Amino acid sequence: MQKITEKLIKSKLTEVLDPELNISIVDLGLVYKVEQQKSGNVVITMTLTTIGCPLFSTIEQEIKSKLKELGIVEKKVKLNLTFDPPWSMEKMSERAKALLGI
């Protein structure tokens, strides 16, 4: 069985797509930090493209579903939503910018 690392978790998060843009939340620059705690909890600090985005619960469920594929139980996944610093297009990967024609 593969050892679960922060790098593996972040890699798995690339499979979570923003429901509106259909681009990975990692490529969009929405994931600020992934932390694996000694308790077994996985804490993900992330943002959204806009404050009050109604799709956060959809993204949250998709994150938990993808991490469950690694064997991380849902109750061990903690999402910290922050808007500091606020998201901007500069946080996007080159791949995301290319997909959006920027």
Q: Parse the chain into domains and list their residue ranges.
A: 6-99
Token pair, residue 82, equals 């922050």
Q: Which residue has the higher pLDDT, 101 or 2?
A: 101
pTM: 0.91
Domain 6-99: which topology? Answer: GMP Synthetase; Chain A, domain 3 (3.30.300)
pLDDT in tens, 62-99: 999 999 999 999 899 999 999 999 999 999 999 999 99
Tell me the C-alpha to C-alpha distance, in Å, between residue 82 and each of 5, 54, 91, 95.
23, 15, 15, 24
Which pLDDT score is estimated for 1?
Answer: 56
